[in-house]
Amino acid sequence: MVLGLLLARRGVRVQVLELHGDFERDFRGDTIHPATMEMLDQIGLADDLLKIPHGTLRVMSFVTPDRTWKLVRLDLLKTPFPYIMIAPQARFLAYLHEHARRYPHFALTFRANVHELVEEGGAVKGVLYKDEHDAIHEVRAPLTVAADGRSSRLARLAGFEAESQSPEIDVIWLRLPRRPSDLADEGAVYSAAGQFMVVFERESEWQAGYVVPKGGYKQLREEGIARLQQNVARLVPWLADRVDTLDDWKKTHVLTVKADRLPLWHKPGLLFIGDAAHAMSPVGGVGINYAIGDAAEAANVLSERLREGLPVEEADLAEVQRRRAPVVRKVQRVQALVQERVVGETLRHKNEQVVPPWPIRLVLKTPYLRDIPARMVAFGPRPYRLERVDERPPA
């Protein structure tokens, strides 16, 4: 949606295909990072976005029974948006669509189930998709962008296989009621006695990700829902008065999380971005930010060629990967290290308390170093910006 909007502003004819019938479904990633806010501010869309009901996350803490460490201080960053905006992703997508559809050369098709690539002469020329009535439609285009997320169908159709970047873990997603007296503007990671959970604010509730080793969800279910209630109450005592709302496993959602990356993000006529190119670990909650960064750089590199009807060479697609892949690699390495040293150690040492490793504690104590974690979460190793912000009519 971001790429479609950015291309449409530059005068490129865009057709977005969406599998579902609308945006109203359960997303677990509702974060809009400072990098995204600054990019939207470049094109005058940040102020109206902030009118959407939302929460803000300014501090991310690591909490044990004995102590709290403030791992990420976004509020100390020099940016007009020193926080992560927490807004329902369905609202964010609708907002992007509202602005994109103002351009008559932008189109969005719901219930479009892509099932085949159209290839000619070794190049992708478009896709075939089925609508809700199983009727088959063909869309031909000089460039097809695969932004279909983890375990991308288009990657399989293209014969691409992602390489794993970190061990798999299971995350059990929960929602718990917010009380008027609850603190706001903070998110936290809780660790105690071999258990690990992340909690952050949503519009009218708390979202929590209870982490277990790969396959641990089955064992937890066998122990019963009361065990999950007890574990959550022990980990986060201030939520103990509402864990009884978790009275059915249907109120949980288990997600097997893995980080992976395609060695090559493109072939003639086809480009992969976002989770389709590089599924990120949940560490830091940066997946959406890096996907949007891909979209911004793709627009920077490709918009003029597409608008003018010039051939999109594979070298152009390689340039998008050249700009984005080093950033993704660095962050995935950091995520894998944190997942192994903090999450992994917590889950393995069931009767011991795990604290942040000493290098992290040292960074947090050093004034000129403590902004590094916040900048990595907010902007990544290299911030992305739009190189052109003017609107142009179609060529």
In this prediction, residue 195 carries a pLDDT of 81
Residue 168 has pLDDT above 80, yes or no: no
As a residue count, the chain comes to: 395
In this prediction, residue 273 carries a pLDDT of 98
Q: What is the pTM of this model?
A: 0.91
Work out the percent of the chain whose per-residue pLDDT is above 70: 94
In this prediction, residue 180 carries a pLDDT of 84
| Residue of higher predicted confidence among 62 and 16 | 16
Tens digits of residue pLDDT in 137-155: 999 999 999 999 988 999 9
Tokens of 115: 């099932």
Tens digits of residue pLDDT in 331-370: 998 888 877 766 666 666 665 666 776 677 787 778 778 8
Nearest to 40 by CA among 88, 86, 95: 95
Q: What is the pLDDT of the chain when averaged over all its residues?
A: 90
Question: 260 - beta bridge partners?
Answer: 164
In this prediction, residue 71 carries a pLDDT of 85
Work out the percent of the chain whose per-residue pLDDT is above 90: 62
Q: pLDDT band at 156, cuts 50/70/90?
A: very high
E-state strands within the chain: 14-17, 31-32, 55-57, 59-63, 68-73, 84-86, 106-109, 113-120, 123-130, 136-140, 144-146, 163-164, 169-177, 186-192, 195-201, 205-213, 253-257, 260-261, 266-267, 270-272
Winning range, highest mean pLDDT, from 20-29, 77-86, 376-385: 77-86
CA 100/CA 104 separation, integer angstroms = 9
Q: How many of the other CB atoms lie within 10 Å of CB of 197?
A: 24
Q: pLDDT band at 33, cuts 50/70/90?
A: very high
